[in-house]
C-alpha cells in the first residue's frame, strides 16, 4: 500500500518544531510492504493546495494526519488551527475515498470532538506509532482493526475510544530527518531535538501532561540518547540540540548518567534543556552539564510568587526556585526564565512579587506571557466550569484562556513599562517570529556567557 503521512503543524511561535512524532510513525511502518511519503506543511504557503497536488501524484491507499496544536496558545494574538485541519480533510475527501486517520498531541487532547469536527474516519490517541503500523498492515490484509489499542472510531452511531497504554521507551530511537526539509528548519533558527524521557509525575493545575504522557516516568537509556546525538552529527552535521524532557534533572541520577555518557564517548554536542526547580539540582549535576556541552537551561516556574506557586500546585517553593537560579549563576551556566501571568488568584501584589524576584536573580533572559490556555483534564478546566467561563470541557476546541480579572486591564502596560528598562525581558514570546526569538534569546549559541 501507499501511505501518505501529513504533518499539519504550521505554528512558528518560537521556532519551527520538526515533526519528530510523524517521522517516528513513518519509521515503524514496514517499508518492505508499503511505500511511505511524508508531506510536511510547515513552510507551505497554501497547505490545502499542497495536499491536493500530493494526492493526485502519489495516489495513497491510506492517509495519516498528525495534529500537533489546537491553537498558538496566545491570549493576545490568538490563532486557531482546527478550521484549516477540517479544510485539509475535506480536500482529501474531494480527491479520494481512502481512510483518513488522525493522531498527534492535539488530537489526543480532544479526540472525540476532533474526529467529529473534521469528519475523519479514524484516530489514534497517545504514542501510537506501533498501533498505526499495525493498522496499516491490517488494512492492507483486509483484516479487522476495531480492537487496536487507542483506536478512536465510530460504533453504533457513537465515537468510542479503545483502551490503551503508554509504551515503554526501551527500543525508542529518534528517526533520521531525511523526510523533511532539514536545511530549511536549520535556516529558520530551529534546533534539532532528542527525546530523553516521557511521562510526568507532577500535577500542575493547568497542565494536561499527565493525561497526554502518563504519570509514570519512562526513561530512555543514556546510551540510546547519545546514539541519537551521534546520528545527528554523522548523518546531518548537527551539533546543536535541544533535549526533550520537561524536567531534565528529574530523576537526578538519570541526568548525571546522560552527561557522563556524553563525556565517555567524547561527543562534541552543544545542547540545551529545561530544568525543574527544587531539590534535584546539585553542584555535581551543573558541573557535568557544563563539561558535557550544555550551553544554557530553561527554568519555567510560571510564577515567582509563593501564593501563585501554591495555586499552580508546582510542588516547589519560592526559596527553592531562588536556590536553583543562584546555583546556575554560581556555575556560570546561562538560563532563561519563563513566567506566566494571569492564573487564578493573580493580583497586583503577586505580579509585583514576581517582578521583584526576577530583578534579584538576574537571569540571562526572561519571557513573560499573559493568560493560560485552558485545556481538558486539568484542575484549571474544572475551575473554569465552576466559574462559568466554559460550559464543558468540549468547549475547549475554541481557544479559551484564563486571565485573572484583577490584572486583565493593566498587566500588558505594566510588563511593557518594565520591558523598556530591561532589554532582555521579553513580553509574550508567542508574538515574536522565530528569527526574532533567535536574535533575542540566542537559541543557537548566540548569547555571550558571563
Of 190-199, 226-235, 314-323, 369-378, give the lowest mean pLDDT range: 190-199
Q: Is the model's pLDDT at 12 over the cut of 60?
A: yes
Q: Is the model's pLDDT at 139 over the cut of 70?
A: yes
Q: Is the model's pLDDT at 206 over the cut of 90?
A: yes
Cis peptide before 251 (omega within 30 of 0): yes
Q: How many CA atoms lie within 13 A of 230 on its CB side?
A: 13
The position carrying cell 527500543 is 171
Domains within the chain, CATH numbers bracketed: 2-161 (3.40.50.280), 182-441 (3.80.30.20)
Residue 297: which pLDDT band, with cuts at 50, 70 and 90? very high
Q: Is the model's pLDDT at 309 over the cut of 50?
A: yes
Q: Which of 185, 76, 115 is nearest to 431 (CA)?
A: 76
E strand or H helix at 25: helix 20-28
Determine how many CB atoms are found less than 10 A away from the CB of residue 436. Answer: 14
- Pull the grid cell for residue 224: 540510546
Residue 428: which pLDDT band, with cuts at 50, 70 and 90? low
Q: Is the model's pLDDT at 237 over the cut of 90?
A: no
Residues with Cβ within 8 Å of residue 58, at least 6 apart in sequence: 2, 4, 37
Predicted pLDDT of residue 421: 85
pLDDT tens digits for 365-404? 898 999 999 999 999 999 999 999 999 988 999 999 999 9
Residue 179: which pLDDT band, with cuts at 50, 70 and 90? confident
For residue 297, the cross-strand partners are 273, 335
Phi and psi for 314 in degrees, rounded to 5? -75, -20
**What's the CA gap between 44 and 16, in Å, rounded?**
12
Average pLDDT over residues 298-319: 96
pLDDT tens digits for 35-72? 999 999 998 889 999 999 999 999 999 999 999 989 88
- Pull the grid cell for residue 41: 506543511
Instruction: Report how far apart, in Å, the C-alpha atoms of 261 and of each of 233, 251, 258, 292 are.
Output: 16, 16, 5, 9
- Pull the grid cell for residue 43: 513552510
Predicted pLDDT of residue 347: 98
Amino acid at each position: 500500500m501507499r501511505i501518505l503521512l501529513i504533518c499539519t503543524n504550521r505554528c512558528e511561535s518560537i521556532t519551527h518544531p520538526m515533526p519528530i512524532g510523524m517521522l517516528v510513525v513513518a519509521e515503524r511502518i514496514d517499508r518492505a510492504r508499503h511505500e511511505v511519503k511524508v508531506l510536511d506543511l510547515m513552510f507551505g504557503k497554501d497547505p490545502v493546495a499542497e495536499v491536493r497536488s500530493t494526492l493526485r501524484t502519489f495516489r495513497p491507499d491510506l492517509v495519516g494526519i498528525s495534529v500537533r496544536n489546537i491553537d498558538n496558545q496566545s491570549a493576545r494574538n490568538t490563532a486557531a488551527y482546527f478550521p484549516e485541519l477540517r479544510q485539509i480533510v475535506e480536500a482529501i475527501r474531494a480527491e479520494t475515498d481512502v481512510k483518513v486517520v488522525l493522531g498527534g498531541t492535539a488530537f489526543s487532547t480532544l479526540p472525540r470532538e476532533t474526529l467529529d469536527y473534521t469528519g475523519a474516519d479514524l484516530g489514534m490517541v497517545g504514542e501510537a506509532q506501533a498501533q498505526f503500523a499495525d493498522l496499516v498492515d491490517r488494512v492492507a490484509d483486509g483484516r479487522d482493526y476495531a480492537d487496536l489499542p487507542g483506536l478512536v472510531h465510530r460504533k453504533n452511531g457513537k465515537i468510542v475510544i479503545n483502551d490503551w497504554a503508554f509504551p515503554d521507551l526501551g527500543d525508542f530511537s529518534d528517526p533520521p530527518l531525511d523526510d523533511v526539509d532539514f536545511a530549511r528548519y536549520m535556516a529558520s533558527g530551529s534546533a534539532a531535538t532528542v527525546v530523553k524521557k516521557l511521562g510526568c509525575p507532577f500535577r500542575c493545575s493547568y497542565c494536561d501532561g499527565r493525561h497526554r504522557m502518563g504519570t509514570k516516568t519512562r526513561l530512555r537509556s543514556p546510551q540510546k540518547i547519545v546514539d541519537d546525538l551521534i546520528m545527528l552529527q554523522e548523518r546531518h552535521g548537527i551539533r546543536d540540540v535541544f533535549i526533550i524532557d520537561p524536567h531534565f534533572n528529574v530523576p537526578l541520577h538519570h541526568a548525571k548518567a546522560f552527561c557522563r555518557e556524553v563525556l565517555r564517548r567524547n561527543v562534541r554536542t552543544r545542547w540545551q534543556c529545561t530544568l525543574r526547580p527544587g531539590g534535584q539540582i546539585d553542584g555535581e549535576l551543573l558541573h557535568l552539564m557544563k563539561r558535557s556541552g550544555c550551553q544554557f537551561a530553561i527554568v519555567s516556574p510560571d510564577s515567582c510568587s509563593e501564593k501563585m506557586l501554591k495555586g499552580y500546585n508546582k510542588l516547589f517553593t519560592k526559596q527553592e526556585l531562588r536556590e536553583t537560579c543562584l546555583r546556575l549563576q554560581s556555575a556560570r551556566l546561562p538560563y532563561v526564565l519563563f513566567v506566566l501571568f494571569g492564573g487564578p488568584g493573580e493580583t497586583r501584589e503577586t505580579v509585583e512579587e514576581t517582578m521583584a524576584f526576577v530583578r534579584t536573580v538576574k537571569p540571562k533572559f526572561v519571557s513573560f506571557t499573559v493568560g493560560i490556555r485552558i485545556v481538558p483534564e486539568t484542575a484549571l478546566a474544572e475551575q473554569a466550569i465552576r466559574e462559568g467561563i466554559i460550559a464543558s470541557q468540549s468547549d475547549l476546541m475554541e481557544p479559551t484562556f484564563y486571565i485573572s480579572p484583577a490584572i486583565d486591564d493593566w498587566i500588558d502596560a505594566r510588563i511593557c513599562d518594565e520591558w523598556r528598562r530591561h532589554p532582555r525581558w521579553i513580553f509574550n514570546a508567542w508574538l515574536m517570529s522565530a528569527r526574532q526569538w533567535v536574535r533575542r534569546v540566542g537559541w543557537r549559541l548566540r548569547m555571550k556567557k558571563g
